[in-house]
Amino acid sequence: MIRLVVLGAGTAGTTIANRLARRYADELPAGGVSITVVDQDNQHVYQPGLLFLPFGEYATDQIVKKRKKQLLPHVTFVQQGIERLDVERNAVQLADGSVLPYDVCVIATGSRTMPEAIEGMTGLGWEEKVFDWYTIEGATALRDRLERFRRGRLIVQMAGMPIKCPGAPLEFAFLADAYFTQKGVRDEVTITYVTSLDAAFGKPVLAGMFGELLAEKNVELVTGFDTARVDGAAGVLAAKDGRELRFDVLATVPLHAGAAFLLRTPGLGDERGFVHADPHTLQCRLKPNLFACGDAANLPTTKGGAVAHFEMEVVEENVARFLKGEPLDPGYDGHANGFIETGFERAFYFEHNYDTEPTPGTFPMPMVGPLNALQESHLNHLGRRSIRWMYWNVLLPGHDMPGVGPQMRAGAKRGGGG
């Protein structure tokens, strides 16, 4: 029997498990192949929905489902914490003391937030004045606070990269502007966007566009802010260079890290626990029967659901090639795309890869679209909101999206072709 183990049942883990289940649909019932997915809980969160929950646009039951129910038949789900990845013995040591052997292991454990990494962030004022919306609990608490917020200073802070969905902090600032405008209290609420970056966004083309948009919406932009500490009781956000900003509500994106157990395998990942992997094949550098995908991988591209989906075709193919002793497919080019909501039912769309910055063009069809990159439109907003249905019904079950693959099409750029 070929034993395939997937660590993590989030976006990447669920998708790759289901794609492998489709690929080995004949072997699974016959016992020639087994697929086992491990995660510490049974709660699958549609993470893009966390951005909208604080503004009352989604209910919790729309973005949370049971992990086990998202997996195809014949895929085994093990709800257990992971103690260690034993790469010498090709086995996973689980928190209950049991051992799970594998022939190929796919690491898809995502990233975790670490609000405790910044002094004072989780101290007095946590979930009263200071909120992290990257979790269900934090997003729900922030929703309740914003419902009561009528006057004061709101800071939206991004502590440092890398983070899941790097556009989300900007989106939060834009949505907050629309939210308070529609409530009729925008003139009473000061919004400040604080980032560790030296511009509004990490991609230069978008940085200028979003910087201008923040100014148009009367959102103050503070850059190069390397956060040193948070005083929730006093409502003070302090930088390492001595700058201090006062707030009544702080909506923060904390520092991110890989799964803690990955740090216990020397050489597997970087100092934060993100796994070293080939940027084109997704094979781990430490050992050839390991692959890493989604937010867990230390790749020079965006951490987000679209990236995970684009990687999956290559990972699925390469797991199969590895098992057959064939050369791997270097087919992933860093393809990433996404939407950034700008409020009032409008959004930007962008697309890029390792070598190409976001450029104007159409998606998904060259010259046809219907979505236009780097243009703010209501149609892009509708595209953004359609993702939730596609996530549960197309992407997670392991289906391909016609015309959208692991490589960025030349036709995505203005002028078509390619």
Q: pLDDT at position 367, please?
A: 54
CA distance 411 to 133: 36
Strand partners, 152: 189
Q: Is the pLDDT of residue 221 over 70?
A: yes
Statement: 115-256 belongs to CATH 3.30.420.40? no
Greater pLDDT, 188 or 414: 188
Q: pLDDT at position 268, please?
A: 97
Model confidence, pTM: 0.93
Q: Is 136 helix (H, G, I), strand (E, B) or coil?
A: helix
How confident is the model over 334-370, as pLDDT tens digits?
Answer: 999 889 999 999 999 988 899 988 888 776 656 556 7
Greater pLDDT, 417 or 96: 96
Evaluate whether 417 touches 410 at the Cβ level (below 8 Å): yes
Q: What is the mean pLDDT of residues 122-138?
A: 95
Q: pLDDT at position 119, please?
A: 97
At 373, the pLDDT band (50, 70, 90 cuts) reads: confident
CA angle (232 as vertex; 229, 238 as ends), nearest 5: 30
Q: pLDDT at position 211, please?
A: 94
Fold of the domain built from segment(s) 2-111+258-324: FAD/NAD(P)-binding domain (3.50.50)
Strand 99-101 vs strand 91-94: parallel, antiparallel, or unpaired? Answer: antiparallel
Q: pLDDT at position 410, please?
A: 60
The number of residues making up the chain comes to 418
Q: What is the mean pLDDT of residues 76-87?
A: 97
At 325, the pLDDT band (50, 70, 90 cuts) reads: very high
Provide the percentage of residues in the chain whose pLDDT is more than 70.
Answer: 95
Q: Is the pLDDT of residue 395 over 80?
A: yes
Q: Is the pLDDT of residue 416 over 50?
A: no
Longest CA span, the chain: 66
Enumerate the domain spans of the chain: 2-111+258-324, 115-256, 336-412
